Structure 1
Amino acid sequence: MSERRYDPNRRQRLIEVTLDVIAEHGVAATTHRKVAQAADVPLGSLTYHFKGLDDLLAAAFTKLADETADGFEATLAGAEGPDAARAAVAALITGDMLGERRNVLLTYELYALAARRPDLRRVTENRMARSRAALARHFEPATAEMLDALIEGLCLHRALAVIPMSAETVREAVNRIVGPL
């Protein structure tokens, strides 16, 4: 008889491992079996903690969206004044939080899945609302909405480009949307 491990954080660990599996294999190739193997848990642990693969994916992508929004809010909260807010927006685009390869892969896996699943659109909508609210502390609402879209688009371009857009060009794009000081 195998020994049962006490693992009070198993559900959370399964969510984190699911993000690792998605980053490595993509959503289409993510299975209960791959997640269980990566987490070194019995396959039944997944069905104990989650109703099915859709439930597990929703939990994993909710965690990703919350972490992204938390980082967004923290970066912008530290900005005091218009110049610092502009610099914070450029830093979001050129920095590690949004531009790190793993995060880019996971974000776009979420977007592709959310395009087909309305329940996951709520996850992306919540993240966008939080990012726009963080931007709106420094910019008028219409500008915050444009900056949010700019951030998403430029992060994608920088992640996929053979030669990423320079930080100087990113700052210029932010300045053109925000307008003169």
Structure 2
Amino acid sequence: MSEPGRRRRHDPDRRERIIDACLDVIAEEGVAGTSHRRVAAAADVPLGSMTYHFSGMDELLQEAFTRFATAVSDEFEQHMAAVATREDAVEAVVAIIADTVFASPRDLVLTHELYTLAAREPAFRALTNAWMTRSRTALERHFDPATARMVDALIEGLTIHRALDTEPHDAQVVAEAVRRITAIGT
């Protein structure tokens, strides 16, 4: 029972807020700079909430990156499901790379943080593999499996270039690359 005068805070969204705050901290500080203390401060929750809701940092990172990868995959699938023709699919892929799914610097940073973590930790590799599988499945609505795999790899590569290049991003180069791989307009 709580002490007289002390009220228990009703906060049903606390766990969700912690996960969202974790993604914000990762985007700002990287996985290496993410700690329970930083996430608790960003989520405006007591530090004890971290261990109440998550068994440790690995579980919190797994939940946060799962939320991120699911959101990106959902948006990717929506773009690919909204088009009917192969030419429209090419344009959708260009938009995914240049304007929509990977448009924000924050999402690009989170993607690379997840890739780096997955390169070292098999549990996170399962998450990236599930993400790639969803992307390829969405692409296979419009392209054969081999082409879908190549387009998926192109998307990854071009988003990495976009995140790291010091030159302005050129959507025409993206469009040409996608057309060459899909053999449209060549």
**Contact kept? 2:87, 2:184, Cα under 8 Å:** no
**Contact kept? 1:99, 1:158, Cα under 8 Å:** no
**Contact kept? 2:20, 2:64, Cα under 8 Å:** yes
Q: Which protein is richer in helix relative to its size?
A: 1
Q: Distance in 2 between matches of 1:136 and 1:152?
A: 16
Which structure has the greater CA radius of gyration? 2
1:149 aligns with 2:124: no
1:29 aligns with 2:3: no
Q: Hey, what does 1:3 align to over in structure 2? A: 7
**Contact kept? 2:23, 2:110, Cα under 8 Å:** yes
1:16 aligns with 2:20: yes
Q: Hey, what does 1:69 align to over in structure 2? A: 73
Q: Distance in 2 between matches of 1:25 and 1:165?
A: 25
Matched pairs, number: 181
**Contact kept? 2:76, 2:135, Cα under 8 Å:** yes
1:110 aligns with 2:147: no
Q: Distance in 1 between matches of 2:114 and 2:86?
A: 32
**Contact kept? 2:36, 2:47, Cα under 8 Å:** yes
Q: Distance in 2 between matches of 1:63 and 1:38?
A: 17
- What secondary structure, in the 3-state scheme, does the structure 2 residue paired with 1:144 have? helix
1:168 aligns with 2:172: yes
Q: Distance in 2 between matches of 1:85 and 1:66?
A: 21
Tell me the TM-score normalized by structure 2: 0.94
CA offset at residue 180 of structure 1? 3.4
- After superposition, residues 61-140 of structure 1 pair within 5 angstroms as 61-140=65-144
**Contact kept? 2:118, 2:125, Cα under 8 Å:** yes
CA offset at residue 99 of structure 1? 3.0
Q: Distance in 2 between matches of 1:180 and 1:94?
A: 18
Tell me the TM-score normalized by structure 1: 0.96
Identity %: 54
CA offset at residue 155 of structure 1? 0.8
- What secondary structure, in the 3-state scheme, does the structure 2 residue paired with 1:169 have? helix
- How big is each residue's C-alpha offset from its partner over 1:116-171, in whole Å with a ceiling of 9 and x where there is no partner? 11000111011000000000000000000000000010011112112234111111
